[in-house]
Amino acid sequence: MTGRTSLTIVLAAGEGTRMRSSLPKVLHQVAGQSLLAHVLAAAPRGAGASLAVVVGPDHQAVADEAVRARSDASTFIQRERLGTAHAVLAARDAIAAGADDLLVAFGDTPLISAATFERLRAPLQAGAALAVLGFRAADPTGYGRLLVEGHQLVAIREHADATAAERAIDLCNAGVMAFDGKTALKVIEAIGKANSKGEYYLTDAVEVVRSLGLKAAVIETGEDEVRGINTKAQLAQAEAIMQTRLRNAALEAGVTLIAPETVHLAADTSFGQNVTIEPFVVIGPGVSIADDAVIHAFSHVVQAAIGRNASIGPYARLRPGTSVGEGARIGNFVETKAAILEAGVKVNHLTYIGDTHIGAGANIGAGTITCNYDGFNKHKTTIGAGAFVGSNSSLVAPVRIGAGAYIGSGSVITRDVPDDALAVERSPLITKDGWANRFRDIKMRDKKK
Ligand code: UD1
Ligand code: MG
């Protein structure tokens, strides 16, 4: 929002016991990214925007994830779990720095968008002291209800404290709020210990604002955007919504998805022009796919850069650190890891390429294995440009195959091969003329006896 500075506080303290997981709730993933990272990605950024994340006392991993996802985030610890208002005050030092707008969001609502954060700030500019994000819940059970009179928000009633009439209201608190920075600290500090659970509820800010003669507003959004995750079933539901969004965005950007509902994307997948993805492809985090590339059916790709006009699969597995050059081809049942394949490389069938650099135009035959691991360490294989590795070869790393060299099929290569040389490692071939006829004659005679 032009001209107004903002501080966003994301609350990520508290346990996710209903997830039945040893992982903190907000570190669970949707589309290859933590719930927390999704929220942080949507929070305002850039000049005049600052970000604070409140974490629990034993959750260094959550603090680390916050800083990984947004290097401009500062983290604060809420030592006791005394409610959402108490959690916001853990970031008191950040609030005291004095932004025009104070936004509060929860770390467990990964579907929230940047546009919604901006929409919520508008009523503040129009003079409200507080704006609350609301939604119409299909099943409002458990949510705080927004009590509205005329156009004014008068209170938020938590489900546990609501009367039967209030429970009939379907307009619910999404948990995202925007405070006018001038009065934010005063309002939040005035929230008393007024509820049944002995917690300080941020939702009570509405009544405090009203008692000060100030205004509170509601901005509505769709339920899908503000689904909070408390269970694995809700996590799966959020994943489904996110996948639909990502597929639609890819289609919109011109990616050909033949059976979109079968393709699994990551939030950070980047596509060039004229990319085609066939059915049943899984794309994990950190993948870029350049112009005119094709990912054939049943391929699995994670942390890989796929170059222009490259062809992957069907049934290929590209693991982290794979880079596929322009026009290169990776065929069926090929696995790559930490592998740089320069332009035009062909690895078409049944092969493992790990910790390897392959120069432009090299051809790797069916069943080639880079033996990169000795049980203790990983070692590197280098294959020069234009080399030809015959089928069923084992390249025992560390090893270097020279540019333009030939490796005879079935070789086990344990020493470096010079440029343009032939290396073949194989038992001598024995042929015995007429042997098969003699063998059959003997066997037929034995059978007749
Ligand atoms: C909260 C809202 C409710 C709203 C619902 C939307 C309050 C009091 N209630 O209820 O009106 O409809 O979200 O999903 O705000 N947290 C802390 N420290 C605490 C307590 C909570 O950091 O001491 C964090 C949690 O990690 C979570 C968020 O605040 O990210 C919300 O807490 P949660 O317990 O999930 O509140 P709800 O009961 O869902
Ligand atoms: Mg919740």
| Amino acid 158: pLDDT | 93
pLDDT digits (tens, 9 = 90+) for 16-42: 568 899 899 999 999 999 999 999 999
Find out whether the beta carbon of 179 lies less than 6 Å from any atom of ligand 1. no
Span 32-55, average pLDDT: 97
Does residue 162 have a pLDDT over 90? yes
Find out whether the beta carbon of 108 lies less than 6 Å from any atom of ligand 1. yes
Q: By C-alpha distance, which of 277, 271, 340 is closest to 308?
A: 271
Query: How many CB atoms neighbour CB 126 within 10 A?
Result: 9
202-204-210-212 Cα dihedral, nearest 10 degrees: -70
CA 84 to ligand 1 centroid distance, Å: 6
Question: Which of these is catalytic: 86, 159, 264, 349?
Answer: 349
DSSP symbol at 129: S
CA 92 to ligand 2 centroid distance, Å: 22
Residue 410: exposure state from Cβ atoms within 10 A (0-12, 13-18, ≥19): middle
Structure tokens at 210: 């009203």
| Amino acid 193: pLDDT | 63
pLDDT digits (tens, 9 = 90+) for 179-193: 999 999 999 999 976
52-56-61-62 Cα dihedral, nearest 10 degrees: -40
Span 383-398, average pLDDT: 98
Structure tokens at 100: 């025009």
Name the CATH superfamily housing domain 232-423.
Hexapeptide repeat proteins (2.160.10.10)
Q: By C-alpha distance, which of 420, 385, 415, 390 is closest to 405?
A: 420
Find out whether the beta carbon of 86 lies less than 6 Å from any atom of ligand 1. yes
Structure tokens at 405: 């060299």
CA 143 to ligand 2 centroid distance, Å: 8
Cα 158 from Cα 172, distance rounded (Å) = 9
Does residue 194 have a pLDDT over 60? no
| Amino acid 192: pLDDT | 76
Query: E-strand spans in 125-183?
Result: 130-136, 145-149, 152-157, 171-180
Q: Which ligand is nearest to the CA of 200?
A: 1
Q: Which ligand is nearest to the CA of 10?
A: 1
| Amino acid 69: pLDDT | 97
Cα 51 from Cα 307, distance rounded (Å) = 36
* Mean pLDDT of the chain, nearest integer: 96
Given this structure, which CATH class describes domain 7-226? Answer: alpha beta
Find out whether the beta carbon of 155 lies less than 6 Å from any atom of ligand 1. no
Cα 252 from Cα 246, distance rounded (Å) = 10
pLDDT digits (tens, 9 = 90+) for 56-85: 998 999 999 999 999 999 999 999 999 999
Cα 188 from Cα 287, distance rounded (Å) = 43
Every domain of the chain and the residues it spans: 7-226, 232-423
CA 184 to ligand 2 centroid distance, Å: 22
| Amino acid 196: pLDDT | 64
Structure tokens at 404: 């333009």
* Chain centroid offset of residue 338 CA: 20
Grade residue 3 by pLDDT with cuts at 50, 70 and 90: confident
Query: E-strand spans in 16-136?
Result: 29-30, 33-34, 49-55, 73-77, 101-106, 130-136
- For residue 151, indicate whether it is catalytic: no
Cα 381 from Cα 416, distance rounded (Å) = 10
422-423 and 369-371: which strand pairing?
Answer: unpaired
Grade residue 150 by pLDDT with cuts at 50, 70 and 90: confident
pLDDT digits (tens, 9 = 90+) for 239-257: 999 999 999 999 999 999 9
